[in-house]
Structure 1
Amino acid sequence: MSEPVIPGFQRQRVALRDVTLSVQTAGKGPALMLLHGYPQNGMCWSRVAPKLAESHQVIVPDLRGYGLSDAPPDDPQHYTYSKRRMALDIVDLMEAFGLPDADVLGHDRGARVAYRLALDHPARVRRLGIIEIAPTADYWANWGADLAMAAYHWTFLAQPSPLPERMIGADPQAYFDWTLKSWTKEKSLDVFPADSLSSYRQQGAEPARIHAMCADYRAGATTDRADDEEDRSAGNEIVAPLRFLYGHHGFPARTGDPAGIWRKWALNVEASPCDSGHFVMEEDPQAVLDAFVPFFS
């Protein structure tokens, strides 16, 4: 896979305790971690990261299994791609950069890693930004016909290996192009920068990454949901100030009251919608900057 880079950023590989991540960095100031989602990688931040790097040390990893990072095989308990394990990768990444803490902004699966990081390691997260998700346990609890049809991939990708891997592997570009296009407001691939779209297609052609993405969702249906339910039963809350942004045409809007859901999980929540589909950073980058530049300042 080629090595695309966000304009103005540099890419490096950072060895952690059991995985090596590909990481892009730029800027100086307070540290800000940007965590991507499915079926993307760190290139999804290319329209907003340069602006954020004007005031922050911006660190953009490809999560394990995605982009140019290592893609270890899943385990029977689906811990390898649990958000708890992936959050530990971010703790290790902070250690590698000599950071005691950081601001964290996540989209989609990266947002699930971000809020798990805030729950498990509260001293590590100064301020938490969440784009386009509701918490995993609540998402499953709100599962109805409309949401199930829109988010069919939650159950499809979580099926036992190798069923979804073989089906996707039959024509991966068609599958991932369909996924990307269908989750945008305009139902078009034109919203994605060319370098970013190329990188999504390249990773989607690699069997190990198809497996990793399925493993990510297998964890979501099992380990991640159990971890959320345990926290909810214990009354654990996110203590970091939380800013939530979601699209009118995205997934959380289908839950009815996504801002209300987050207020049950965090002590201090700001929330707003924007006129976008699921991929807000690429469809409406100004909405992301308007929401999070003041928040992280």
Structure 2
Amino acid sequence: MVSIGDQKISVHVGGSGTPLLLLHGYPQNHSAWIKLAAPLARHFTCVIADLPGYGASSIPADAASHETFSKRRMAALLVSAMASMGHNNFSVMGHDRGARVAYRMALDHSTTIRRVVVIEIVPTSDMWSAFDAEMAMKAYHWSFLAQPSPLPERLISGDPVFYLEWTLRSWTKGNCLDVFDPRSLESYRKQIRDPFRVHAMCADYRAGASIDRSLDLADQVRGANVTAPLLFVWSKLGFPKKAGDPLSLWRGWSDNASGAEIDAGHFIPEETPDALLAAAVPFLSADA
């Protein structure tokens, strides 16, 4: 546990080499990297964190603006946590919600981030702009989880494991849970049974619909770019594919963006870990 002010960030650390921060997505926690931790640790010093509000990390007090769950605040907390461990310059790889923290980190802390890998997202403002009938059906959780408290919290907590497993299963290529390690599944089930964690996850999405989107739009107006080399990895069947040409969207945010499409569902780190390693390790190992 790394203490940053009144917050604690839960991390698992292993390996050797240049530091690499790994950030999970929704509705998961650090266990999302269970298939990749050992292979990545052969190349990097891996810091596998629970995002604020998830796993065993502290749950920030929510605010009317949801600023405490903004990706800007999460990024700042995680950068401070890395600095407290002696990592003042590092690469970051994030999936889903963790990827949103990762690119915000690269925007706000450009001298800190060496390289950034974003998996299976397009920028938040671009994602909202892409909502049509098809996207609204596929990514219904974006508007559902962002509804005012306690509506989504009460509905999810009526049968939390059903909701979790429906979500996980429906976003995989094979519409099954077999791609998830049993230890990870049990960790996700434990998390979703905790009403305080459910509230935190909803607050994360409320921030995405409000302050995160506003921050992105402001950055677009001022022409802010990710200066670190950026690798975008997306699936043939996931959400970014529905947004048009997802790599071109990232090239609007970065002058040094490359990409790789993988034959998988949404959960690339757990569905196709070898393909992700093949794309990410050479990129993360390259000289800046």
TM over 0.5: yes
- The separation in 2 between residues aligned to 1:211 and 1:74, in whole angstroms, is 9
- SS state at 1:60 partner: strand
Q: Is the 8 A contact 2:93 2:118 kept in 1?
A: yes
Q: Which runs of 5+ in 1 are unaligned?
A: 1-12
- Identical aligned pairs, as a percentage? 52
- Give the residue type in structure 2 aligned to 1:226: S
The alignment partner of 2:22 has SS state of strand
Residue 100 of structure 1: how far off its partner (Å): 1.4
Q: Deviations over 1:185-219 (max 9, x none)?
A: 00001110000010001000001000000000000
Aligned to 1:278: 266
Tell me the secondary structure at the aligned position of residue 47 of structure 1: coil
4+ long deviations beyond 6 Å: none
Determine helix, strand or coil for the equivalent of 1:190: coil
Between the aligned partners of 1:187 and 1:60, the Cα distance in structure 2 is: 27
Separation (CA, whole Å) in 2 of partners of 1:25 and 1:220 = 28
User: TM-score if structure 2 supplies the norm length?
Assistant: 0.98
The equivalences for 1:184-195 within 5 A come to 184-195=172-183
CA distance in 2, matches of 1:205, 1:71: 15
The Cα shift of 1:73 comes to 3.0
- Structure-1 residue corresponding to 2:158: 170
CA contact (8 A) 2:116 2:228 kept: yes
Q: Indicate which of 49, 52, 63 corresponds to 1:75.
A: 63
Match among 128, 131, 134 for residue 116 of structure 2: 128
TM superposition shift of 1:71: 1.4
Q: 2:104 aligns with which of 94, 116, 137?
A: 116
Q: Which residue of 1 aligns with 2:201?
A: 213
Structure 2 SS opposite 1:104: strand
> Alpha-carbon deviations, 1:55-77, whole Å to 9, x = none?
11100010111111111331111
Deviation string 1:99-156 (CA, Å, 9 cap, x unpaired) is 1110100000000000000000101100010100000000001111111100000000
Q: What corresponds to 2:75 in structure 1?
A: 87
Cα offset for 1:28? 1.1
2:40 to 52, 60, 72: 52
Query: What SS does the corresponding residue of 2:231 show, helix, strand or coil?
Result: strand
Secondary structure in 2 matching 1:122: coil
Letter in 1 for 2:162: A
Counterpart CA distance in 2 for 1:70 and 1:58 is 21
What count of residue pairs does the alignment treat as equivalent? 285
Q: How does 1:1-297 map to 2 (within 5 A)?
A: 13-297=1-285
What is the root-mean-square deviation in Å for CA atoms of aligned residues?
Answer: 0.7
